Structure 1
């Protein structure tokens, strides 16, 4: 009979648990609408990035002998041309890229301001919190469109590229208000947690606690808000371009293409192509945002 030594026994294998982000990813992958929307958004982004390089025509190339023609395979004008002789496929691809760029950049601006502002207000509390949030209330009382229109009218830029930067800075500068309120509420719930008290006891400064401990723990609602906010910003930019205060020629966004198409009803392809593209983009982003909301916070379903 052989002796059994304790040292000979195999140590039990540690069971590797799943992180909250892994659980969220699994829940997202079980949502068919969100998965399809994710692929559609990825495809749209790839088209916006590589489409201008791969398509045979440039967005500002003018064909004098093909002005306002209907969709045709001749010379690869698959969606026709506009009233100036520019290929509509190239214009729609360029407009999609501009709209997605404005949505992403304006969302980045709003998140940077809103997350820091809300986290500082919620962590500081007291009179600092009251003053900061009263400023947000005052900003809420100013109509969003009025503020952006005044800014776009007062600041006149000759370069279309600089005007584009002004567009997403102007939109992002007012879209941070809701984000600041969301982050403030989350911060108030977190500031008395054990890990924050431990950071205080270890001598961490308030700004270090906010940046290293508070902000990383509010990323779930931030990601959800960012995804749902992109289509809102795209619609806002489209409205500004529709009334002539957004993206300027020769650049184009989906909103400016819709505005031009509305004025050319004898050429319906100029309206249908950007309208369908915007519809697909907004639907995909909204379904993806809903899926992320359910995945990151399943209690809200």
Structure 2
């Protein structure tokens, strides 16, 4: 008699983390936010590697030029540029020809021409590698040749002639770095402070929370102004000042979670095993507050970016020639009528980043919600 029983394959279970990741991946707005944040991060941190311009490079010939996909300069304007260079050198421009990106000019004067005159042509942004091709016997006339330098300004330039696209990349680096660094500072201080206060309870909890309330009562802008006066404006100061304020709300959230966790059975079991308070906080309390903390961090990052932009808008942020999205928006707001692109591009990146972070935060909140498990 044959055995007809069929053994069913073992079903592999999923952990709570895997289920949360699956719910998060099904959230299309959250995944779209992650993709957009990745693209913005690549644009900000990797983009400058592929740009031939630096954030502080000044193009005196291209001041406040609008965004364009076409290269600068316009070939029709090169003869006028050559005439200007010849006039500054106190010479006369006899002819100007352009062929395949190479220009040729003939200049003359009432007295012998110094070969160093070519420096006047290289000082403009349109010409490069100018050299003497031919000189007359009496040195009263000279033929110069060189290359026409083509520049691309996809986002236009600012009032100082700097490439706005590179400065938006730099602004993204600083704004994102300030947001992440200040959030990590608030995360490190707030989680430890809140977990310690909530677990110890009693008089210690009362004193620690009163300290938090006192710090809450201090005006934030006044604190920043005082620190800027004493220590000067710097990115490190921005990390410290913003992180020193944002951890207060983090501590209160973690304290509330700790008050409910310390009555759970696993905490009582840890106490029965002889673990001290710090070991229980480090091994059991803090790891079980990670879910709400992660969700709150996604809210803190856009708040920090907004705070940094607000301080930069007031002139208390990063120093020139560095720039953040806040300083770029501030400069663009002052010239919105004449050069609106100075406001549009950094504002678009700023708003899209904040929206994406909020979508990611909502997705994490839904994925880690215990009611959906």
- Is this a same-fold pair by TM over 0.5? yes
Q: Which piece of structure 1 moves more, 56-65 or 122-131?
A: 56-65
Matched-pair contact (CA < 8 Å) for 1:152–1:167: no
Aligned mates of 2:160, 2:57 — CA distance in 1: 10
- Show CA shifts across 1:4-35 (max 9, x none): 8xxxx999765332111111111112211111
Aligned mates of 2:329, 2:263 — CA distance in 1: 50
- 1:125 deviates by 0.6
1:240 — aligned with what? Answer: 311
1:81 — aligned with what? Answer: 157
1:160 — aligned with what? Answer: none
Matches within 5 A, 1:92-103: 92-103=168-179
Aligned pair 1:277/2:349, yes or no?
Answer: yes
Aligned mates of 2:205, 2:37 — CA distance in 1: 38
Structure 1 runs, 4 residues or longer, greater than 6 Å off? 9-12
RMSD between aligned residues: 1.8
- 1:148 deviates by 2.4
2:277 — aligned with what? Answer: 206
2:292 — aligned with what? Answer: 221
Aligned mates of 2:230, 2:253 — CA distance in 1: 31
Q: Match for 1:172 among 243, 248, 271?
A: 243
User: Structure 1: where are the runs of 5+ without partners?
Assistant: 158-162
- 1:250 deviates by 1.5
- 1:97 deviates by 1.1
Aligned mates of 1:118, 1:96 — CA distance in 2: 31
Aligned mates of 1:298, 1:36 — CA distance in 2: 24
1:188 — aligned with what? Answer: 259
Shift in alpha-carbon separation, 1:23–1:244, aligned structure 2, 3 A: same
Aligned pair 1:131/2:207, yes or no?
Answer: yes
1:268 — aligned with what? Answer: 340
Q: Match for 1:32 among 28, 32, 54?
A: 28
Aligned mates of 1:17, 1:196 — CA distance in 2: 26
Aligned pair count?
290
Aligned mates of 1:102, 1:271 — CA distance in 2: 21
Matched-pair contact (CA < 8 Å) for 1:79–1:87: yes
2:321 — aligned with what? Answer: 250
Q: Match for 1:110 among 186, 191, 196?
A: 186
Normalised by the length of structure 1, the TM-score is 0.91
2:367 — aligned with what? Answer: 295
- Give the structure with the higher percent strand: 2
* Secondary structure at the counterpart of residue 235 of structure 1: helix
Q: Which has the higher contact order (CA 8 A, sep 6+)?
A: 1
- 1:139 deviates by 1.2
1:65 — aligned with what? Answer: 61
User: Structure 2: where are the runs of 5+ without partners?
Assistant: 72-150
